[in-house]
Structure formats: C-alpha cells, structure tokens
Amino acid sequence: MPHLVAPSLLSANFLNLEKDIEMVNHSQADWFHLDVMDGVFVPNISFGLPVIEKIRKAALKPFDVHLMIIDPDRYIERFRKAGADIISVHTEACIHLHRTVHLIKNTGAKAGVVLNPHSPVSLLTDIIRDADMVLLMSVNPGFGGQQFIENTYRKVRDLRELILKKNSVATVEIDGGVDLRNAPLLIKEGADILVAGNTIFASPDPEDTISLLKNF
C-alpha cells in the first residue's frame, strides 16, 4: 500500500489550533497523530481527553492516538469514546501487553504497540500477530524536535523480517525526527506510516511539506 503521513499535533500552534486542523483536513495527510503524555512515563505533559474530544469535532481524518502513559488500560475505552481510531501503547508501560492489545481491539479501535529506541524488536515476537501496527520511536519519547536516531533504519529492517516470519499484518509507523531527508530511506526500508511534527508545522508551507512527504 502507499505509505501514509500523520502530522503530529504536538507541534501545532495551540494558540490557533483550529487553523492547523483545517490545514491537515485539506492536505494530503492521512491521519492526525495525537501524543498523550502523563509526566510520569515520559518527562513531559501534553494534552488529554477533553482536548481530543474538541479536536474530534473539527478533524475529518482518523485519529492515531499514542499513549505515553503508565497503566493505559484505565483509559482505553475513554480514548476510544473521545474519537481514537488507532490506540498505541508502549511495551515498556504494559505489564500484560497481550491483554492491553485485546482490550483496545475490543473497543473497535486498531491496536498499536510502541518500542522505545533502546527496546529490541525481539520483544514483539509473541505479540506481533495480535498487533495492527508497530510504532518505532526514532527519538526518546517526551519532546518534539529531537534528532533522529540513525539505528532506526536497522530496526525497521528487523521489524519487517519479524512481520514476514510471523505472517503478521501489522503496519510499521515511525515517530520522531522524521524529515524530508530521512523519509525516503525509511519508506525504502519498509515504513508504512510517517509521523512528522516540526518538519510540517515549522515549515513555511506545511501543506506543501505534507505533499512532499506523501509523494516520495
């Protein structure tokens, strides 16, 4: 399938968020990427359910909700009701990952599992066939605008091999430091979804930048 582009609203202008939502609506972007941070699992706090509910009223594309929080099971149904179409949880935050993945799927949302940069792909061996998506963090989670970790290319290859070996249908998403330089190689290595924040929203022409990311 053609690769997808998911602008991260963490980098949007929160003083004029509706304008950036409308830009994404009219662009070639496929999803909205929403980073939820609790200040415990990651050293930052972003936004939560009330903000996502408001964004849902203006956004016309699927919501890719990335939970960077501890004990995500407590909130999965509420994020689904708030408008999440895909809910991703960190392997590092889930004691019972299989149960969490199926809790997500039982709400009707697609289930993503996330690996931090230090976590090996091998951690997914026993869950890869249950997951709809794997999100590889290409920066340490918690803040936008970080430098892309080059080891991500190898992890994409390793993940593709695991998906094929296990006959999984999981797609591969990359989040962190994605730009116009590294995006083509990520796609070549097997990435299906590119999350981009600063690259899009700090651009002089965000809609054109989305087009460039979409059409490599």
> Residue ranges of the domains in the chain?
4-214
Q: Which of 30, 35, 132, 192 is catalytic?
A: 35
pLDDT at 145: 67
- Vertex 115: Cα angle to 113 and 118 (nearest 5): 165
CA distances in angstroms from 139 to 93, 118, 127, listed in the order given: 17, 10, 23
pLDDT at 42: 94
- The Cα 76–Cα 86 span in angstroms is 11
Q: Could you tell me if 27 and 4 are in contact, meaning their C-beta atoms sit under 8 angstroms apart?
A: no
Which sign, positive or negative, has the C-alpha torsion 216, 171, 136, 104?
A: positive
132 given a catalytic annotation? no
pLDDT tens per residue across all 216 residues of the chain: 799 999 999 999 999 999 999 999 999 999 999 999 999 999 999 999 999 999 999 999 999 999 999 999 999 999 999 999 999 999 999 999 999 999 999 999 999 999 999 999 999 999 999 999 999 999 998 776 678 999 999 999 999 999 999 999 999 999 999 999 999 999 999 999 999 999 999 999 999 999 999 998
- Secondary structure class of 48 (helix, strand, coil): coil
CATH class entry, domain 4-214 = alpha beta
158 given a catalytic annotation? no
Q: Which of 30, 64, 132, 175 is catalytic?
A: 175
pTM score > 0.85 for this model? yes
| Residues whose CB falls within 8 Å of the CB of residue 149, separated by 6 or more in sequence, listed in order | 117, 138, 139, 176, 177
Give the chain's largest Cα–Cα span: 47
pLDDT at 1: 72
pLDDT at 137: 97
Give Cα 204 to chain centroid, integer Å. 24
pLDDT at 143: 72
CA distances in angstroms from 34 to 21, 88, 205, listed in the order given: 12, 10, 21
